[in-house]
Structure 1
Amino acid sequence: MTAPTLDMPAVTAFIEAAVAAPSLHNAQPWKFQFHRGNGTLRLYADLERELPKTDPDNRGLHLGCGAALFNLRVAAVAAGREPTVRLLPDDSDPTLLAEVDLTAGASPDDPLALLQPAIRRRHTSRYPFLEDDIPDVLRDGLCVAAHLEGARLVFPDVWHVQSVLDLTHDAEFREAWAPDVRGETADWVRTEPSSEISPSDGIPAEALGPGQWGASSPVRDLTVGRTVAGRGWAPFEKRPHIALLGTAQDHQVDWLRAGQALERVWLEATLDGLVASLTSQPLEWPELRWAVRDPTSAMAHVQMVIRLGYGPEGRPTPRRPVAEVLDIL
């Protein structure tokens, strides 16, 4: 079934949903092209927004773009269109990450449409979570969500959770002694709250949450050595619920799939009443990343460490306007 011709309000709505996705330091490393003639949207990596010190292989960049692609798919299905996606469609252009054909009509009962309300609600929560357990039925549902996108989600046991925490603290120590990494983070993380003249990217002070007493939870301190006015301190949960998202292979296409899986898991979790934060710190050091994986699982490459639980919703972070990221051809 062919859907009606796309108009610009519809295309704008799809991109607004896409750019609500998470990305490393909220750098928003994506660009889009809409081709009127054939009704396709193209997703490109914006290499002017890469993080060469923190993310030298651009793995995190691909995860963020994959998350944006998933949001676009959700918005398209909710609008009655079936997105047909080709990942890395042009070997001669490595910045072209995906091409999405939006000319077909979607099934009215496509489950992706149910996720649309969560796109605007999903925010990183860097606050303390409750100690409450996450029911098995919800954990199982999140694992299924990852599987549907070609990835795997594992909830490690208590022993391995502590191992992940130890590796995270090791990564924090390494970062503290890496001024180039800390400098790059400072370029994107602000110590002052948002204002009318604030940038449309990066992380403002109000989205940081309190500083952590102790080191019981894998919440990244993005302002090490800098003062944030009015920011308090708080104890965090002693038994954090951590999930590892990973893939069997570790190529560009796997990173894009993992980004889509990450966003699907996060949107499902949001509808389930859960909040989340991410940490990639131990994954940014090759000598630590291999040790993060759960040795009891078949997961070969961990792509993200996800902290889940019940607690305050995170504060929104700014977004680039559609006109800045979308070209019409």
Structure 2
Amino acid sequence: MTAPFPSAVDQALAAAVRAPSPHNTQPWRFVVAGPRIEVWLDRSRVLTVADPAAREARLSCGAAVYNLALVLRDNGLGAQVRVLAKPAEPDLLAVIRIDGGAGRARPDRQLAEAVFRRHTNRRPLSAQPVSETCRARLRSAALAEGGVLEFLDGSSRYARVTALARQAEAVQAADERFRAESARWTGRPPESPDGVPTVAFGPPAGVPAVVPLRSSHQNPAIPTRQFEQDPCLAVVLTREHGVAADVRAGLVLQRVLLTATADGLATSCVSQPFETPGTRGPLLELFREIGEPHTLVRVGHGLPVRMTARRPVAEVTIVQSASDTSPR
């Protein structure tokens, strides 16, 4: 007997769990209640040292929301996304309502196809520049989700931002708490359903990199290589601040990452300067006139690397029967 084809909701949930997260912690839970899908923050998977306010975890959940809605729409359904910020339920981050969607235009098919190919590339990238055409598409992707993507190379902020990234990485590498937390989530076996396996690590840098790879994501068993000395770096911003803005920024980030993947570009997020108090404040101040910065994205051309695994959808999803549901 053959297994039934997965439903559109099944496909959307499988896409949601492919979202990126710090150390591949996957800090999300989903509740399916008829035509409603709730996205919740899983506090047990928040990095308490690197992300005590759960900003990066909410960013990851926002990326999962984007994948959910994208694949639902790609299947011809309507998907109305509502980002929430309720003090009474601070971990309920978003609700997606599904309808028949008759007559709705489907999203860019290339983005939906990129969901299961997108991955973090921790390896050195080539010297081939990111074209202005690609940059324009990435900026447009951010704008389409209500955010801003600003490329920093060539700007006066570039040197300051990269210096803060190096400062933050040095602080984390010397801090026993950061090292212990990273150790819990990295160096996993290749098929581990969460965390970062050693096969996904990058090589040690031959000379100090302008934008540092996390020391916890380096594999000393592979040959040392030189990373790009003038990496293409962009910052994801929102005009708003607060919990809802973190989630919104996740939608912005994921659309940018999928657009980059569809264009054949490699990406990785540079999070260290957001995670240490001594660098987060100066970083926020640097962009105060533009908006709230949420993460830095390293973009370029590189060879594909092994993707990290994800937990099964059933492990992170509750399906409620009609009798269990109540209006929210």
In the superposition, the TM-score normalised over structure 1's length comes to: 0.89
Q: Is the 8 A contact 1:77 1:106 kept in 2?
A: no
CA–CA distance in 1 between the matches of 2:295 and 2:175? 22
Partner residue of 2:203? 210
Partner residue of 1:35? 33
CA–CA distance in 2 between the matches of 1:89 and 1:152? 21
CA–CA distance in 2 between the matches of 1:80 and 1:92? 34
Residue correspondences, number: 315
Partner residue of 2:10? 12
Deviation at 1:228, TM superposition (A): 4.3
> 2:290 is paired with a residue of what secondary structure?
coil
CA–CA distance in 2 between the matches of 1:131 and 1:311? 9
Deviation at 1:285, TM superposition (A): 2.1
Partner residue of 1:110? 106
Mapping 1:145-224, distance limit 5 Å: 145-158=141-154, 159-190=156-187, 193-195=189-191, 199-223=192-216
2:221 paired with 1:230: yes
> 2:7 is paired with a residue of what secondary structure?
helix
Deviation at 1:69, TM superposition (A): 0.4
2:318 paired with 1:318: no
> 1:28 is paired with a residue of what secondary structure?
coil
> 2:196 is paired with a residue of what secondary structure?
coil
Change (3 A) 1:52 1:295: closer
CA–CA distance in 2 between the matches of 1:297 and 1:44? 29
2:62 paired with 1:66: yes
Change (3 A) 1:112 1:70: farther
Mapping 1:29-108, distance limit 5 Å: 29-36=27-34, 39-88=35-84, 90-105=86-101, 107=103
> 1:120 is paired with a residue of what secondary structure?
coil
- The AA in structure 2 aligned to 1:279 is V
CA–CA distance in 2 between the matches of 1:316 and 1:106? 35
Deviation at 1:249, TM superposition (A): 2.8
Change (3 A) 1:288 1:296: closer
2:304 paired with 1:308: no
- Deviations for 1:298-320, whole angstroms, at most 9, x for unmatched residues? 42321001000011123210100
Partner residue of 2:266? 275
- Deviations for 1:96-131, whole angstroms, at most 9, x for unmatched residues? 111111123165533344411100110001111111
Deviation at 1:8, TM superposition (A): 6.5
- The AA in structure 2 aligned to 1:178 is D
Deviation at 1:233, TM superposition (A): 1.3
> 2:115 is paired with a residue of what secondary structure?
helix
Deviation at 1:134, TM superposition (A): 1.2
- The AA in structure 1 aligned to 2:88 is S
Q: Is the 8 A contact 2:85 2:243 kept in 1?
A: no
Q: Is the 8 A contact 2:287 2:293 kept in 1?
A: no
CA–CA distance in 2 between the matches of 1:176 and 1:238? 21
CA–CA distance in 2 between the matches of 1:25 and 1:54? 11
2:263 paired with 1:299: no
> 2:216 is paired with a residue of what secondary structure?
coil
- Deviations for 1:272-306, whole angstroms, at most 9, x for unmatched residues? 11111111101112331243369588423210010
CA–CA distance in 2 between the matches of 1:54 and 1:44? 20
Q: Is the 8 A contact 2:110 2:262 kept in 1?
A: no
Partner residue of 1:263? 254
Q: Is the 8 A contact 2:153 2:233 kept in 1?
A: no
Deviation at 1:221, TM superposition (A): 2.3
2:122 paired with 1:126: yes
Q: Is the 8 A contact 2:246 2:294 kept in 1?
A: yes
- The AA in structure 2 aligned to 1:189 is T
Structure 1 gap ranges (5+)? 1-6
CA–CA distance in 2 between the matches of 1:122 and 1:278? 13
Partner residue of 1:25? 23
Partner residue of 1:4? none
- The AA in structure 1 aligned to 2:42 is D
- Deviations for 1:110-162, whole angstroms, at most 9, x for unmatched residues? 33444111001100011111112111121111111111111111012434322
RMSD: 2.1
Q: Is the 8 A contact 1:220 1:281 kept in 2?
A: no
Q: Is the 8 A contact 1:290 1:301 kept in 2?
A: no
CA–CA distance in 1 between the matches of 2:142 and 2:299? 15
CA–CA distance in 1 between the matches of 2:220 and 2:312? 28
2:230 paired with 1:239: yes
